[in-house]
Amino acid sequence: AQRVTQPEKLLSVFKGAPVELKCNYSYSGSPELFWYVQYSRQRLQLLLRHISRESIKGFTADLNKGETSFHLKKPFAQEEDSAMYYCAPVNYQLIWGAGTKLIIKP
């Protein structure tokens, strides 16, 4: 099946440290991917769209077709970044990543 994989269920880093949330994909065609974030007790929200190459809340993500990856990065983590992060395919028929719980320690 064509799917997105997030290898880390939990990632814990100290405030101010760099963060990288991994996402790998297996597609037969051209991938189109998002990053979604779910803060505690809130609904899923769109964080990044790979086509826009934008930076939201200091996060960036680059689509690396050679490594089939779309890792989410932030140079300096903040406590409010603690949340669940999902790498998601644009095509709803494809399988989402299982999510990575990011914990920022003070």
Provide the binding-site residues for another protein, judged by CB under 8 A.
6, 9, 32, 34, 36, 42-46, 49, 51, 86, 88, 90-93, 95-99
- Do 44 and 86 form a contact (C-beta atoms < 8 A)? yes
Would you say 14 or 92 has its CB closer to another protein? 92
Would you say 33 or 77 has its CB closer to another protein? 33
All residues at 6 or more sequence positions from 94 whose CB lies less than 8 Å from its CB, including other chains: 1, 2, 3, 4, 27
Residue whose entry in the numeric block shows the structure tokens 């189109």 = 32
Would you say 4 or 77 has its CB closer to another protein? 4
The per-residue DSSP string of 4-20 comes to EE---SEEEEETTS-EE
How far apart are CB 97 and another protein at their closest, in Å? 5
Would you say 36 or 70 has its CB closer to another protein? 36
Question: 3-state DSSP call for residue 104?
Answer: strand
How far apart are CB 75 and another protein at their closest, in Å? 24
How far apart are CB 56 and another protein at their closest, in Å? 12
Say how many Å lie between the first and final Cα of the chain, rounded: 40
